[in-house]
């Protein structure tokens, strides 16, 4: 009996990625994107939706852009079938929900006809989320007992509209039109012709749930003209019904302190997500344009029991030290007798994540301040007040391991050596440039702010030709060390954090934006 040489078909996941805010993606969507072999994605998915994809996964852009380049639906379905029949798992990632004007039903039918297993992962649809972020509930006990979702862009192959406009006009609830901005004059005329009042409230929500959200309001009779004069464009949804009158009372998203501001984040991609998440939560439109990335070095960690003090100058240093120990079948128990020093609360926080408590954290979060904290008093006192951080005696030099990046400054080791310490410098990782595309440079130039969280982010952005040269974007520095690096590049920060932490940077940015 001849064995069938064809592989077992892979599963296709029709995944809804939500309306744009990354926080509205479901846990299942993120789980699948991180697991599959191939991702076919649309243009309107959240900016960070694919960040968790496997490094070896094939990512294919099949997005459709209003008025722009189009990938035919037939081509997309062929790709789904080809990859699945080759035995690959595939995530078809769509903005919103795959079964709400996402053509997911057509794709599911094609897969079923080919004998390919599939799963549908619902997503938050724009017709609910966009109005919600604009302060418009699509249903309300006093205003709308129901909601109807309607396409504003019917199949162009149909000879005439199949929408029952009189029936739709008579629907006793909210109407939400998808993809209909360019046809608003025809849509509103059809509603009025069908019997809907021209004086009924209406609203259009463009780019709902993200920092670039725009909302205009009017009536059924005026909304098309209002939207046109405001330059409202796709992607957008139109809301018709008395619930639209609640916007002024219930608006919330636009009242956030950074709403309407665009912020470019130049931090390394692995560390950028936390800052970007904070800024988005404050209403900002965030552009992640990393100028650096860290690269682990093949460092051999000496026996840690030989040191009195372990000094760590960054969260990356903590992670790399622990990773190096584990690679060598060792662990953090080797640090049990040492004084552990951290340059700031961010580094101390990562230490806590691996079960360690920092004994020394200076009030000012710089290498110089850490050196001063370690050499305070008689030059030998640890955080517990024990001589030498371990009781070695004042005459014996203290042994210090400085675990950090390969390009760390000289201030910290120089001060410690001047105080009589024996300093061993252990380079665990290096910072290298992340290529910056022309599009990324244009995005930075168009932003309101660009953040610098280290001297290296400033250096590498300058090398990539993306450093701001005018009044916009406003450079935001995390602290004096970064400010000094910017000054060497002839850039004066418009904003400097009072506390050299991510919390301090965000607070300084918010204060500047509110001025």
CATH code, 311: 3.40.50.10090
Domain for residue 4, yes or no?
Answer: no
Domain that holds residue 237: 128-255
Residues 233 and 320 in one domain: no
Cis peptide upstream of residue 354 (ω within 30 degrees of 0): no
Q: Is 64 a catalytic residue?
A: yes
Domain for residue 303, yes or no?
Answer: yes
- Report CA dihedral (500, 503, 504, 506) to the nearest 10 degrees: 130
Which CATH number characterizes residue 100's domain? Answer: 3.40.1010.10
Residues 281 and 310 in one domain: no
CA distance 186 to 181: 10
Cis peptide upstream of residue 342 (ω within 30 degrees of 0): no
Where are the extended beta strands (E) located within 155-297?
174-178, 201-206, 214-219, 236-240, 262-265, 285-288, 292-296
CA distance 469 to 451: 14
Whether 247 contacts 204, CB under 8 Å: no
Residues 266 and 235 in one domain: no
3-state class percentages of the chain: helix first, strand second, coil last, to nearest 5: 35, 20, 45
Residues 508 and 489 in one domain: yes
Residues 280 and 360 in one domain: no
Residues 80 and 194 in one domain: no
Question: CB 140: neighbour CB atoms within 10 A?
Answer: 17
Beta bridge partners of 404: 427
Residue that finishes a domain, picked among 415, 432, 449: 432
Residues 97 and 140 in one domain: no
Domain for residue 1, yes or no?
Answer: no
DSSP SS3 for 224: helix
Query: Which tokens hold the place of 36?
Result: 């599959």
CA distance 453 to 461: 12
Domain for residue 7, yes or no?
Answer: no
DSSP SS3 for 494: coil
Domain for residue 2, yes or no?
Answer: no
Domain count, the chain: 4
One of 37, 51, 56, 64 is an active-site residue; which one?
64
Question: Which pLDDT does position 378 carry in this prediction?
Answer: 42
Residues 165 and 110 in one domain: no
Where are the extended beta strands (E) located within 434-473?
449-452
Residues 16 and 89 in one domain: yes
Residue that finishes a domain, picked among 124, 158, 173: 124
Domain for residue 426, yes or no?
Answer: yes
Which CATH number characterizes residue 231's domain? Answer: 3.30.950.10
Residues 414 and 480 in one domain: no
Whether 463 contacts 493, CB under 8 Å: no
Single pTM value for the model: 0.80
Run means of pLDDT, 10 residues per run, the chain, 515 residues: 73 97 96 97 91 94 69 93 97 97 95 97 97 97 96 68 91 95 94 97 97 96 97 96 97 95 86 84 91 87 94 91 93 92 90 92 81 68 40 69 85 88 92 86 93 90 86 92 92 92 93 92
One of 42, 308, 421, 448 is an active-site residue; which one?
42
For residues 45-60, b (16+ Cβ closer than 10 Å) or e, as one string?
Answer: bbbbbbbbbeeebeeb
Residues 352 and 397 in one domain: yes
Beta bridge partners of 452: 477
Beta bridge partners of 201: 219
Domain for residue 3, yes or no?
Answer: no
Question: CB 504: neighbour CB atoms within 10 A?
Answer: 18
Domain for residue 5, yes or no?
Answer: no
**Cα-only R_g, the chain:** 28
Residues 277 and 306 in one domain: no
Residue that finishes a domain, picked among 432, 464, 493: 432
């Amino acid at each position: 009996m001849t064995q069938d040489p064809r592989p077992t078909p892979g599963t296709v996941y029709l995944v809804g990625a939500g309306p744009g805010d990354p926080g509205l993606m479901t846990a299942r969507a993120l789980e699948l994107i991180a697991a599959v072999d191939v991702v076919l994605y649309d243009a309107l998915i959240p900016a960070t939706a694919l960040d968790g994809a496997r490094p070896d996964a094939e990512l294919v852009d099949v997005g459709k852009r209003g008025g722009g380049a189009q990938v035919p639906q037939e081509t997309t379905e062929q790709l789904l079938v080809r990859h699945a029949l080759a035995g690959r798992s595939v995530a078809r990632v769509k903005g919103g929900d795959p079964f709400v004007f996402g053509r997911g039903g057509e794709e599911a039918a094609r897969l079923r006809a080919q004998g390919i297993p599939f799963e549908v992962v619902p997503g938050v649809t724009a017709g609910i989320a966009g109005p919600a972020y604009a302060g418009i509930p699509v249903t309300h006990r006093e205003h709308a007992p129901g909601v109807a979702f309607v396409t504003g862009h019917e199949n162009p192959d149909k000879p005439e509209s199949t929408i029952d406009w009189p029936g739709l006009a008579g629907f006793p609830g909210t109407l939400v039109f998808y993809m209909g901005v360019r046809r608003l004059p025809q849509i509103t005329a059809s509603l009025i012709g069908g019997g809907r009042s021209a004086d009924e409230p209406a609203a259009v929500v463009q780019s709902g749930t993200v920092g670039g959200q725009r909302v205009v309001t009017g009536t059924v009779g005026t909304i098309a003209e209002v939207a046109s004069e405001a330059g409202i464009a796709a992607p957008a949804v139109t809301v018709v019904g008395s619930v639209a009158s609640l916007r002024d009372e219930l608006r919330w998203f636009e009242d956030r302190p950074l709403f309407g501001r665009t912020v470019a984040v130049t931090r390394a991609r692995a560390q950028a997500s936390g800052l970007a998440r904070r800024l988005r939560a404050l209403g900002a439109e965030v552009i992640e344009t990393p100028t650096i990335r860290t690269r682990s070095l093949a460092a051999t960690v000496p026996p840690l029991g030989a040191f009195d003090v372990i000094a760590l100058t960054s969260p990356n240093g903590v992670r790399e030290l622990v990773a190096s120990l584990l690679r060598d079948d060792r662990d953090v128990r080797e640090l049990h007798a040492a004084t552990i020093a951290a340059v700031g609360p961010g580094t101390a926080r990562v230490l806590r994540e691996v079960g360690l408590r920092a004994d020394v954290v200076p009030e000012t979060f710089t290498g110089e301040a850490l050196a001063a904290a370690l050499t305070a008093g008689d030059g030998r006192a640890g955080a517990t007040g024990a001589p030498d951080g371990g009781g070695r005696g004042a005459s014996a030099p203290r042994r210090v391991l400085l675990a950090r990046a390969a390009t760390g400054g000289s201030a910290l080791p120089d001060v410690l050596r001047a105080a009589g310490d024996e300093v061993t410098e252990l380079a665990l990782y290096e910072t290298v440039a992340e290529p910056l595309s022309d599009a990324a440079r244009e995005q930075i130039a168009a932003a309101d702010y660009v953040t610098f969280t280290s001297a290296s982010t400033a250096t590498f952005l300058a090398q990539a030709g993306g450093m701001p040269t005018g009044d916009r974007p406003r450079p935001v520095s995390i602290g004096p060390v970064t400010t000094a690096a910017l000054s060497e590049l002839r850039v004066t920060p418009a904003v400097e954090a009072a506390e050299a932490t991510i919390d301090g940077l965000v607070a300084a940015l918010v204060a500047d934006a509110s001025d």
